[in-house]
Amino acid sequence: MVNAPHERMLHTPAGLNTLPKEWYWARLDEVCDGIFDCPHSTPTISPFGPLMVRSQDIRTGFFRVDEAAHVSEETYCERTRRTEPRYGDLFYSREGTYFGIAAEVPAEKKVCLGQRMVLIRPNARIAHYRFLRYWLNSHFLAAHVYGFKDGSVAERLNLPTIRALPVAMPPMAEQQAIAYILGSLDDKTEINRRMNATLEAMARALFRSWFVDFDPVQAKAAGQQPDGMDSATAALFPDSFVDSPLGRVPKDWKVRKLSEVVELAYGKALKDTDRLPGAIPVYGSNGQVGWHCEASVKGPGIIVGRKGNPGIVTRVMTDFFPIDTTFYIKWITDISFTYLYFTLGSLNLSSLGSDSAVPGLNRNIAYMSDILVPCQEVLTAFEDTVIAFFRFIHENDEQSTALGAIRNLLLPKLLSGEIRVQEIMA
């Protein structure tokens, strides 16, 4: 128990009892104008309208606006009757898989609280909202709140515990500087994420236009020039359709079994304890799970979840190591990397399970899937266009990884006062 410059007592995080002399400890409710619980009711989701924040929407410490649900204006008014979230406030998840995470309320967005959420309103004269977010998401506080959770089924923090959370408080000028340094790194990472999402959506839209809706072929069959396409590219597409096992498809394009096009090769076992520091990404059934010093497959490549998260399709632009919960693609025919990535993602492979207790992808059943194989000239044109998007995405990911390493190094040192802002800015 450590005294703050206030009358009430509070518990401080273990291992962080010594602060710089200008700093002090405070309870969260002592540096806030209010801490508000969510309405304890299940809101009705709408296709559009104001946003609603849930714990899964802030699992990364950012409010993912593009993933959030919507509610009606009426529901929004009901759920904000006590207080309306505003820029400078923080969302805080108090229950569930992603409990104990804070995120900023976005500017110029109408957002209400979903279930399991709390709204924190910092006192702007005492606490900088972004500094407070970093503190609430720090490993210091994560270890602290773990001991205060209640609930036998779901992880949960009650409101009195949240109000009494300890906060290490630097002077306001130092809070602002810490928020600026860490925020600059995080803001660039978030910009990269949004840019990557846009590039991925553009590539997927082109795939759908060419190979699902057959827009260029439809236009040529109607005697028209395909929209937004130069004449040389348009000339690569047929101008009529034929029947096939997949329905009507462009003339001269083939339907093949997946087994005729690729091999689903098994990944290799690689325990956490056997991984050595390095720059080779290690992939499991749901994406990257770590790093290693040695690759087992030369990139670029495609990984398909085999066990645990069957059918999840992930691409990688570098050499990589797929572990034994995955398949990775070995090419049998000269089919476009980007085309195959989107095609595999459209096959609903997760439904082709094996008869076992652990969800798994049955390779033999997957091999029986029919896929459309366009002519090589069209595949090359698609690859030449979309691969540039994927390379840009990869460059952004690499930059974000480097920024994240710098942030993770600085964050605990800045929040504990081990490194002072003056040392960085000097």
Per-residue pLDDT reduced to its tens digit, 81-130: 999 999 999 999 998 888 899 999 999 999 999 988 999 999 999 999 99
Assess whether pLDDT exceeds 60 at residue 59. yes
Please count the CA atoms within 13 angstroms of the CA of 409 that sit on its side-chain side. 7
CATH class of 2-169: alpha beta
Could you tell me the two tokens for 132? Answer: 């407070």
Banded pLDDT at 421 (limits 50, 70, 90): confident
Q: Which residues pair with 327 in a beta bridge?
A: 266, 304
Q: Is the peptide bond before 300 cis (omega within 30 degrees of 0)?
A: yes
Whether 2-169 and 254-373 share one fold: the answer is yes
Mean pLDDT of 234-245: 96
Banded pLDDT at 309 (limits 50, 70, 90): confident
Alpha-carbon span 132 to 2, nearest angstrom: 20
Assess whether pLDDT exceeds 90 at residue 34. yes
Q: Which residues pair with 253 in a beta bridge?
A: none
Residue 200, helix vs strand vs coil: helix
Residue 313 φ/ψ, nearest 5 degrees: -105, 125
Could you tell me the two tokens for 233? Answer: 């590219």
DSSP H helical segments within 151-249, as ranges?
159-163, 172-211, 215-221, 231-234
CATH class of 254-373: alpha beta
pLDDT for the residue numbered 237: 97
pLDDT for the residue numbered 150: 57
Residue ranges of domains in the chain:
2-169, 254-373
Instruction: Specify whether the CB–CB gap between 31 and 169 falls below 8 A.
Output: yes
Provide the mean pLDDT of the chain: 91
Q: Would you call 355 exposed, middle or buried from its count of C-beta atoms within 10 A (0-12, 13-18, 19+)?
A: exposed
Which helix (H) or strand (E) covers residue 93, if one does?
strand 90-93
| Residue pLDDT, tens place only, 175-231 | 999 999 999 999 999 999 999 999 999 999 999 999 999 999 999 999 999 998 999
Dihedral angle computed from the Cα positions of residues 192, 60, 288 and 327, in that order, rounded to the nearest 10 degrees: -110
| Residue pLDDT, tens place only, 139-187 | 888 888 876 655 544 577 889 989 999 999 999 999 999 999 999 999 9
